[in-house]
């Protein structure tokens, strides 16, 4: 769905060894191709002695933008299997860079395909994934007498709490699907006796619990 996507939960670097060759997989969230290229460049600078810095990335809520590069490895043995792992895990807005230090033993085409794919898969297992959904942000304002109860109710509700602020009154920013606005309004009125005020505060990509 274009209103929801899954990406890597956090940037990480994970290493595996295959027949004395070291494969360091760096993963990072990336919302644009520019950001993905920055991650790739950073890895090249971080590991200047490595022979290969292969990469793959998928971008866009629909995953339409897909790129991969073998960086000197035999064609189709590095970037393609890395990209396939991202696609199989149904991830987007994610960049993977696998840096290889050659260990003196030739792996062959099949061995390289398995090693590069495993490097990405193992790194994803370690980093975990996160879901994002495009939601309307509703600002809820209540007096301090109701603030504690409202905050607790929101944290236990299916509506993700995005932020809190405390000025003259308490203000909570909540993510709500457009189709659930009426339901949320009734839910909030029921818990506050109609005392809460609401206003729309835009639409954003909001991280959800796994």
Task: Kindly report, as residue ranges, where domains of CATH 3.30.230.30 are found in the chain.
Answer: 4-127
Mean pLDDT across the chain, nearest whole number? 94
Residue 1, pLDDT above cutoff 80: no
Task: Show Cβ contacts of residue 42 under 8 Å, excluding neighbours closer than 6 positions.
Answer: none
The 10s digit of each residue's pLDDT in 3-40 is 899 999 999 999 999 999 999 999 999 999 999 999 99
Q: In the 8-state DSSP scheme, what is residue 50?
A: -
Task: Kindly report, as residue ranges, where domains of CATH 3.30.70.240 are found in the chain.
Answer: 131-208
* Tokens, residue 74: 């035999």
Distance CA 61, CA 193 (A): 38
Task: Give CA torsion, residues 103, 105, 111, 117, to 10 deg.
Answer: 0
pLDDT given at position 210? 58
Quote the Cα angle for 166-167-173, to 5°: 45
pLDDT given at position 208? 87
Cα 86 to the center of its chain, rounded Å = 12
Distance CA 157, CA 152 (A): 9
Average pLDDT over residues 35-61: 96
Say if CB 64 and CB 10 are below 8 A apart: no
pLDDT given at position 3? 87
Q: Which CATH class is domain 131-208?
A: alpha beta
pLDDT given at position 101? 96
* Tokens, residue 91: 């991830």
pLDDT given at position 88? 97
pLDDT given at position 2? 67
Closest residue by Cα to residue 98 from 12, 8, 31 = 12
Name the band, by pLDDT with cuts 50, 70 and 90, for residue 82.
very high
Name the band, by pLDDT with cuts 50, 70 and 90, for residue 55.
very high
Give domain 4-127's CATH architecture.
2-Layer Sandwich (3.30)
pTM of the model: 0.84
Q: In the 8-state DSSP scheme, what is residue 136?
A: E
Average pLDDT over residues 129-153: 94
The 10s digit of each residue's pLDDT in 163-205 is 999 999 999 999 999 899 999 999 999 999 999 999 999 999 9
């Amino acid at each position: 769905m274009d209103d929801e996507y899954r990406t890597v939960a956090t940037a990480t670097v994970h290493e595996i060894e295959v027949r004395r060759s070291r494969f360091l997989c760096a993963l990072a969230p990336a919302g644009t191709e520019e950001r993905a290229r920055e991650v790739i460049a950073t890895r090249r600078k971080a590991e200047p002695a490595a022979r290969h810095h292969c990469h793959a990335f998928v971008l866009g809520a629909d995953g339409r933008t897909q790129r991969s590069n073998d960086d000197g490895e035999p064609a189709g043995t590095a970037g393609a299997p890395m990209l396939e792992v991202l696609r199989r895990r149904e991830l987007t807005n994610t960049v993977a860079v696998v840096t290889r230090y050659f260990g003196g033993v030739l792996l062959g085409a099949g061995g390289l395909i398995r090693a590069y794919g495993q490097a990405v898969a193992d790194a994803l297992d370690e980093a975990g994934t996160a879901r994002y959904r495009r939601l309307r942000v509703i600002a809820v304002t209540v007096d301090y007498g109701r603030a504690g109860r409202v905050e607790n109710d929101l944290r236990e509700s299916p509506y993700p709490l995005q932020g809190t602020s405390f000025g003259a009154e308490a203000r909570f920013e909540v993510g709500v699907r457009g189709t659930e606005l009426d339901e949320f309004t009734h839910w909030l009125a029921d818990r506050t006796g109609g005392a809460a005020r609401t206003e729309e505060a835009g639409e954003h990509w909001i991280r959800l619990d796994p």
